Amino acid sequence: MWALLGWLGLTFGVAFGSAIIPLISIEVFVIGLVTQQPHISWWWIGLAVAVGQVLGKMFYFLAARGDWHLPAWLKREEKRAKPLTPFRARWKTRLERVRDRCHRHPHWMFGTHAVSSVVGVPPFMFTTVLAGLAGMSSWLFITTGMIGRFARFSVLAASPALMTGWLLH
């Protein structure tokens, strides 16, 4: 019992860390976990990862929405504005257009965020920030993210057992 809680706590921690630091691969961790600890239910693994991922992404979501501000020591020093190159000016214009569309159509983010939370395309980090910029409600962001991430990682956790069953029969 305690070992199970320890593994699930570790899974939650890695999921939370991977949500904040994208270089950590929760997918690799989950596959490694289910191959080394096959007695842990795919359901519990999916739940631990979903909760960790959504809680970790809340920092980005709230910051993009403007509800959470970085401490002063994490902010870059203000640099004197340089004239924009034509390339940077085009990208700035494109970003402003995306930002305006997000604010005009916050309901579009529901579908995009839902698909991203399951499939990963567009990247979940990207849709998290866009959901914040669009002003998506926290409740909708959490619900959509939890359901999608649970579905994604439950299937991933069950996949080694499914593949073994198919190959041996």
- 115, part of any domain: no
Q: Indicate if the pLDDT at residue 85 is higher than 90.
A: no
Give dist(CA 110, CA 96) in Å, integer. 20
- Print the domain residue range for 18: 1-66
* Phi and psi at residue 73, to the nearest 5°: -70, -15
Q: Indicate if the pLDDT at residue 58 is higher than 80.
A: yes
User: For residue 12, which of 58, 51, 41 has the smallest C-alpha distance?
Assistant: 51
Give dist(CA 162, CA 41) in Å, integer. 13
> How many Cβ atoms are within 10 Å of 115's Cβ, its own excluded?
15
Q: Are 50 and 10 in contact (CB under 8 A)?
A: no
- 78, part of any domain: no
Instruction: Among 51, 66, 81, give the residue marking a domain's end.
Output: 66
Q: How many domains does the chain have?
A: 2
Q: Are 54 and 145 in contact (CB under 8 A)?
A: yes
- 71, part of any domain: no
> 105: pLDDT confidence band, cut at 50, 70 and 90?
confident
Q: What percent of the chain has pLDDT over 90?
A: 53
- 101, part of any domain: no
Amino acid at the residue 149: R
What mean pLDDT value characterizes the chain? 88
> 159: pLDDT confidence band, cut at 50, 70 and 90?
confident
Q: What is the pLDDT of residue 169?
A: 62
Q: Indicate if the pLDDT at residue 88 is higher than 90.
A: no
Q: What is the pLDDT of residue 92?
A: 85
- 37, part of any domain: yes
> In the predicted model, what is the mean pLDDT of residues 14-20?
97
> 166: pLDDT confidence band, cut at 50, 70 and 90?
low
> How many Cβ atoms are within 10 Å of 1's Cβ, its own excluded?
5
- Higher model confidence: residue 74 or residue 135? 135
Cα–Cα–Cα angle for 146, 51, 2, rounded to 5 degrees: 140
- 90, part of any domain: no
- 149, part of any domain: yes
